[in-house]
């Protein structure tokens, strides 16, 4: 005698799983089961008892969860047929998409997925306004899905409209989001949702304007957006008139003779545009840099270069540090103080040279109260490269000094080992270049003797820089 299994109305995934387990455990073949889907009574009249979970291939679990919401009353029988074969020696059957049962279930999965997708696409919210002034705005929507997809479709709306309060009403159930929690409720009717929304006319206007009558193809439109959806989509009311008027609009365009411009050429504006909005002074460039946000969030402000706009030597460092970030000036932290000392010994006046960084914003890791410098990536350096190159273009120095590897990378686009490349170098085509270490390297050396030796070499480098570049303002009298 065939066993009868009644499952609850809708997508009764739990009920099916429990029944399938029990039936497989009891050795009941698919031909001996009658499945009553969407039964009005609450639960199986016949107690199937509990059985241990089945070990099913992942692909089958997916087929089950995606086909169960389908409205076809035969879905459970087909699924059980597949479960039975998989648990009786034909595990590979789920991979054979050409198997008639698998092919039919794939078809159901496809319709369920499409139904969910169309709900995400074509559902329209209408505003109910806030419940009280200052409260979040509330929205409601009416949608008519083909299958039992409400629960599967809702997470999308939660993730997308988290800050809103909304209710979705369907003939198969309703869902509600209060800003914290989702709840499901009974089916409703169209009358549960407002009949209009203040933005629908504007949206329809957009829809009409974005349509190109010269490409009219209503068949293609209906393939994607079946007529059954139209009555719940405000813009769809415009469709008949758009199609009706399309050919006359196109004829008018094709037949219309070319027009002559009614306006005079905007000579002044064109000339101004050709001059370009690109900055022509260092000051203008720095204003742009200050205005732009950091690439990596966190920095207090941009730290732009400092020094005479016609300096003959430009020093390029890595990026501002903690103190620079707070003061908004380059080389004013520990490394900057060391650089000042070395300048003094090498006979360079800080006020005569231009100091800048490859990267203009401080990037750090927060460790307790300390903001610890974090090295910019190669990609970050290239984001800032345009500014650095523009600075140099505007200053036109005799010599560009790269302090450390990041500066070399910024100027040449290449990673170069500093110790080997140290000294005069070709960094850019237009300017003489010189490579030395970054003063912060000297601060990091653990051994005092090594530190002293490295410092002396650094001062020697600066002396050579002064010789090559003059290290004074052009036109100023050398000391």
Partner 1 sequence: MDETVARKLRVLADAAKYDASCASSGAPKRSADKTGIGSTNSIGICHSYTPDGRCVSLLKVLLTNYCLFDCAYCINRRSSNVERARFSVREIVDLTLAFYKRNYIEGLFLSSGIIRSPDYTMEQLVLVAKTLRQDRGYRGYIHLKTIPEASPWLIEQAGLWADRLSVNLELPTDAALTAFAPEKRGSTIRAAMGQMSERIAEAKEERRSFSPAGQSTQLIVGADSASDEDVLRTSAGLYSSYGLRRVYYSAFSPIPDSTAKLPSQSPPLQRENRLYQADWLLRHYGFDVDEIAASSDGGMLDLGIDPKLAWALKNRHRFPVDVNAGEREMLLRIPGIGKRAVDKILAARRHTSLRLEDVKRLSGSVRRALPFMIAVDHHPGRSIDRVDLRARIAPPPAEQMSLF
Tell me which residues in 100-119 interact with partner 1 (CB under 8 A): 100, 103, 117
Q: How far is the CB of 167 from partner 1 (least distance, A)?
A: 13
In the bound state with partner 1, the residue whose beta carbon lies nearer, of 123 and 427, is 123
DSSP H or E stretch at residue 205: helix 200-210
Stretch 117-146: interaction string toward partner 1, x if CB under 8 A? x--xxxxxxxx---------x-x-x-----
Which two tokens mark 248? 């006359």
Near partner 1 by CB under 8 A: residue from 34, 61, 237, 272: 272
CA distances from 471 to 52, 401, 411, 467, 468 (A): 84, 11, 20, 8, 8
Three-state SS for 36? Answer: strand
By CB under 8 A, what part of segment 193-212 binds partner 1? 197-199, 201-203, 205-212
Stretch 158-187: interaction string toward partner 1, x if CB under 8 A? -xxxxxx--------------x--------
Residue 444, burial from CB neighbour count under 10 angstroms (0-12, 13-18, 19+): exposed
Q: Confirm if 314 and 417 have CB atoms less than 8 A apart.
A: no
- Per the listing, tokens 């909005």 go with 277
In the bound state with partner 1, the residue whose beta carbon lies nearer, of 237 and 452, is 237
188 Cβ contact partners less than 8 Å away, ≥ 6 residues apart: 142, 169, 170, 171, 174
By CB under 8 A, what part of segment 385-424 binds partner 1? 386-387
Near partner 1 by CB under 8 A: residue from 65, 232, 382, 412: 382
CA atoms within 13 A on the CB side of 93: 21
Q: How far is the CB of 56 from partner 1 (least distance, A)?
A: 17
Buried b (16+ CB within 10 A) or exposed e, 248-282: eeeeeeeeeeeeeeeeeeeeeeeeeeeeeeebeeb
**Stretches 66-74, 186-194, 290-298, 344-352: which one binds partner 1 (CB under 8 A)?**
290-298
**Stretches 67-75, 252-260, 442-450, 463-471: which one binds partner 1 (CB under 8 A)?**
252-260
Residues binding partner 1: what is the number (CB under 8 A)? 95
Helices and strands per DSSP (H, E), number in the chain = 17, 14
**Stretches 2-10, 30-38, 92-100, 398-406: which one binds partner 1 (CB under 8 A)?**
92-100
Q: Confirm if 355 and 391 have CB atoms less than 8 A apart.
A: no
Asked if 265 touches partner 1 (CB under 8 A), the answer is yes
Q: How far is the CB of 144 from partner 1 (least distance, A)?
A: 15
**Stretches 37-45, 255-263, 300-308, 468-476: which one binds partner 1 (CB under 8 A)?**
255-263
Asked if 218 touches partner 1 (CB under 8 A), the answer is yes
Point out which residues pair with 434 in neighbouring strands. Answer: 401, 424
Q: How far is the CB of 342 from partner 1 (least distance, A)?
A: 32
By CB under 8 A, what part of segment 220-249 binds partner 1? 220-221, 223-225, 233, 235-236, 239, 242-243, 246
Q: Give just the sign of the alpha carbon dihedral 467, 471, 473, 478.
A: negative
In the bound state with partner 1, the residue whose beta carbon lies nearer, of 370 and 375, is 375
The radius of gyration computed from the CA coordinates of the chain, to the nearest angstrom, equals 36
């Amino acid at each position: 005698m065939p066993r009868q299994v009644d499952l609850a109305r809708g997508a009764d995934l739990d009920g099916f799983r429990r029944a399938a387990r029990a039936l497989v455990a009891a050795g009941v073949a698919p031909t001996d089961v009658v499945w009553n889907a969407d039964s009005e009574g609450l639960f199986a009249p016949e107690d199937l008892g509990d059985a241990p979970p089945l070990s099913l291939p992942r692909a089958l679990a997916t087929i089950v969860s995606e086909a169960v919401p389908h409205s076809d009353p035969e879905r459970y029988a087909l699924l059980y047929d597949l479960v039975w074969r998989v648990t009786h020696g034909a595990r590979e059957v789920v991979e054979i998409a050409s198997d008639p049962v698998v092919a039919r279930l794939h078809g159901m999965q496809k319709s369920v997925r499409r139904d969910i997708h169309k709900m995400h696409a074509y559902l329209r919210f209408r505003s109910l306004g806030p419940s009280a002034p200052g409260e979040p705005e509330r929205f409601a929507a009416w949608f008519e899905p083909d299958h039992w997809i409400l629960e599967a479709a809702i997470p999308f709306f939660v993730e997308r409209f988290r800050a809103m309060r909304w209710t979705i009403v369907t003939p198969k159930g309703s869902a509600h989001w209060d800003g914290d929690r989702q709840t499901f409720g009974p089916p409703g009717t169209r009358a549960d949702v407002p009949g209009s929304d203040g933005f629908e006319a504007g949206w329809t206007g957009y829809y009409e304007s974005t349509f190109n009558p010269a490409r009219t193809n209503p068949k293609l439109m209906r393939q994607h957006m079946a007529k059954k959806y139209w009555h719940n989509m405000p813009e769809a009311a415009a469709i008949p008139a758009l199609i009706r008027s399309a050919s006359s609009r196109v004829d008018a365009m094709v037949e219309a003779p070319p027009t002559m411009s009614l306006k005079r050429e905007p000579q002044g504006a064109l000339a101004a545009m050709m001059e370009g909005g690109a900055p022509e002074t260092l000051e203008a460039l720095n204003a742009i840099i200050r205005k732009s946000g950091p690439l990596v969030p966190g920095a207090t402000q941009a730290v732009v270069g400092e020094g005479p706009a016609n300096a003959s030597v430009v020093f390029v460092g890595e990026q501002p540090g903690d103190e620079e970030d707070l003061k908004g000036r380059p080389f004013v932290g520990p490394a900057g103080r060391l650089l000042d000392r070395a300048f003094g010994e090498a006979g360079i006046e800080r006020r005569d040279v231009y100091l800048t960084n490859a990267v203009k914003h401080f990037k750090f890791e927060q460790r307790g109260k300390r903001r610890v410098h974090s090295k910019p990536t190669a990609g970050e350096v290239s984001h800032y490269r345009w500014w650095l190159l523009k600075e140099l273009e505007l200053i036109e120095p005799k010599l560009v000094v790269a302090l450390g590897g990041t500066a070399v990378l910024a100027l040449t686009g290449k990673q170069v080992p500093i110790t080997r490349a140290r000294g005069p170098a070709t960094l850019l085509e237009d300017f003489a270049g010189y490579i030395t270490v970054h003063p912060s390297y000297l601060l990091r050396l653990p051994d005092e003797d090594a530190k002293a030796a490295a410092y002396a070499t650094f001062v020697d480098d600066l002396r050579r820089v002064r010789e090559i570049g003059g290290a004074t303002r052009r036109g100023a009298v050398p000391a």
